[in-house]
A and B are shown apart, each in its own frame.
Chain A
Amino acid sequence: MAKKPAGPQMFIANRLDDGRAVFLTANGEWTKVAADAAVGQTDEEVEALAVLAHGAEDANLVVSVTAIAADTEGNNLAPAHMKFAMQAKGPSVRLDLGYQVSPNWEQ
């Protein structure tokens, strides 16, 4: 299991059927747009999000639920680490194709 990140946290996972990277929102849904993710600022908030996230995992909606550090400094909320930022953006190559075309990877 990954080391627990410090500071504000968000939850990332992959959808069960197509594996798409998605982020947990405040109402327990999963979004492709990292900027719409819920951020836990305190241990209590993170724990509450974790309950929602793992509930979705138990319901077979998503897999690989992971708490990650959130970058809340810029204009847009985003994952702090480059690997998770890459998941939020899609590959930096084949920009002629599907998911990679949209800045928010919404296609």
Chain B
Amino acid sequence: MYAYDTYDHAIVNARVEEFRDQVERRMKGELTEEEFRPLRLMNGLYLQLHAYMLRVAIPYGTLSSNQMRRLAHIARRYDKGYAHFTTRQNVQYNWPKLSETPDILQELADVEMHAIQTSGNCIRNTTTDQFAGAAADEVLDPRPYAELIRQWSTFHPEFSFLPRKFKIAITGADEDRAAVKWHDIGLVVKQSDTGEIGFEVLAGGGMGRTPVIGKVIRDFLPVSDLLSYLEAMLRVYNEQGRRDNKYKARIKILVDAMGADEYARQVEAEWAKIKDQPLDVPEEEVARIKAFFTPPPLPVLDNDVPTVNAFADKNFLFKAWVSNNTGAHKVPGHVHVTISLKPHGGIPGDATDAQMDLVADLADKYSLSEVRVSHEQNLILPHVAKKDLPALWEALDAAGLGSANAGLLTDIIACPGLDYCSLANARSIPLAQKLTERFDDVKRLMDIGPLKIKISGCINSCGHHHAGHIGILGVDRKGEENYQLLLGGSGAEDASKAAILGPGFDEGGIIDAIEKVVAVYLGEREDGEEFLPAYRRLGADVFKEAVYGAR
């Protein structure tokens, strides 16, 4: 993992003291709310329906066990004993007091964390594959480049007041687990014909009220040119992105308006002016950062572990968990483990302080003290020996963390919705809870197979409903919560926009509608055909007829 240098420590600690002074002045009335609001937002502090909400950055979703323990401590000491992991690989606290937030930020700074750039019209936390550095199918570990982007973008003077917020995602594997095509900039690791490593560069993706899948603007960018090229991309956007209408200010609108080819041409022209300036870091600095992410010294072990097989033969839930929640590791005899934060009746992404402490302890014991956060709101232990899986699962299961549903229908993304969020029009969490209760049988879930449900409580799409195989969008219809049903979205390498199926439903109706959609799939699928390919083959009409009846 990356470790702060003296410069990192200095700027984060200075920011804490600056914010402490700002909070004190606000509490004394020396700053008005109008003056204070942008200052608190620059430190990740929002005001929601019932309380303040502090959003803490988890750079590219990577945590040490000590950092996880600190997050648990903050939940216990300053909040209500839980925290919420988000679709941007960050974590949110729902109940901090304004006067205590400087202390929270100091607690975070002490373990090399902060809440900078988790709000506002700046470059936000770069997200990536939660299995980075572990997945067997990885071409290149994206974390050193995510870290480079973090350092380049933090307090970047030119890009601190962009037309709108800006999100970058990187994947280092062919299977896109970071939804890169849905980001303002998406970077996909590629290898050239000569073996050189670089990135395919996409621009103009985004969700919100205008969902757009990013377009490729450069087939291959050498890794050594990454920062200067990003600088050029941001410059063109910063200069030409709209500032007159916040709903038309994201880069997706600019790229759509001028065309991807013209945007690419302007970026290349800008890049030609700056690429030879010292924007890209020297090779030795890249090497220094890469050294923090060298593959861990795991021993090569047998992939077939008789004791694990015997345990699985006696315990179906464990067997299901191994099948669904673990994946192939670079090093034989190891797996990466997804700890589902989607238990029966639970809130997607929520973890208690005790659960976070336990995950930290288990990371120390079984995963080289590393934890990851996925954009699907789960936690990951990236480096686990297969022989340790029974003991790990038993410890997780005893704490309510053993759900065997990763990648299945109940592994639902849901935004906080109207239960917490001041932007929301409808609740999201209760729908997710009811779905986990309706589809509670693991055998049934495994029979249904991979199926991603994503729920947003408003058009801002924090719950990624546009990218759901089944998406749900909560709306306010004449003062009542109403839910639109969308089908056919994907956040993966085959990214697609989900389409609204028909008129919306109330809370009970949307659950029944999903049951009908699943029934159509089960009745119509071909051998081994997963939900999304089946939907694409069948088209919407057969689902529409099942849900709304013949017309």
Contacts and interface: CB of A to CB of B under 8 A. Distances in A.
Nearest to B480: A82
A19 B51 contact: yes
A93 B433 contact: yes
B82 A18 contact: no
Given A21-B49, A81-B479, A91 B420 contact: yes
Given A60-B29, A81-B479, A97 B47 contact: no
24 contacts: A14-B47, A14-B51, A16-B27, A16-B98, A17-B27, A17-B98, A18-B52, A18-B97, A19-B47, A21-B49, A57-B33, A60-B26, A64-B33, A64-B47, A82-B476, A83-B49, A86-B49, A93-B430, A93-B433, A94-B80, A94-B350, A97-B81, A98-B80, A98-B95
B98 A83 contact: no
Contacts of B476: 82-83
By CB atoms of chain B within 10 A, which of A18, A59, A87 has the most?
Answer: A18
Contacts of B27: 16-17, 60
Interface in A31-62: 57, 59-60
A19 B52 contact: yes
B82 A94 contact: yes
Contacts of B433: 93
Nearest to B425: A83
Given A17-B27, A21-B50, A80-B479, 17 more contacts: A14-B47, A14-B51, A16-B26, A17-B97, A17-B99, A20-B50, A57-B33, A64-B33, A82-B479, A82-B480, A82-B481, A83-B49, A92-B419, A94-B80, A94-B82, A94-B350, A97-B80
Contacts of B520: none
A70 interface: no
Contact of A18 (B28, B98, B427): B98
A21 B52 CA distance: 11
A18 B80 CA distance: 13
B99 A83 contact: no
B195 to A, nearest CB: 52
B51 A20 contact: yes
B418 A86 contact: yes
A63 interface: yes
Nearest to A69: B479
B188 interface: no
B379 interface: no
A90 interface: yes
Interface string A73-102: 000000011110011001111100111000
B47 A63 contact: yes
A82 to B, nearest CB: 6
Interface string A1-36: 000000000000010111111000000000000000
Nearest to A59: B29
B486 to A, nearest CB: 22
Contact of B347 (A57, A86, A94): A94
B429 interface: yes
Nearest to A86: B418
Highest count of chain A CB atoms <10 Å: which of B50, B81, B97, B99:
B50
B419 A93 contact: yes
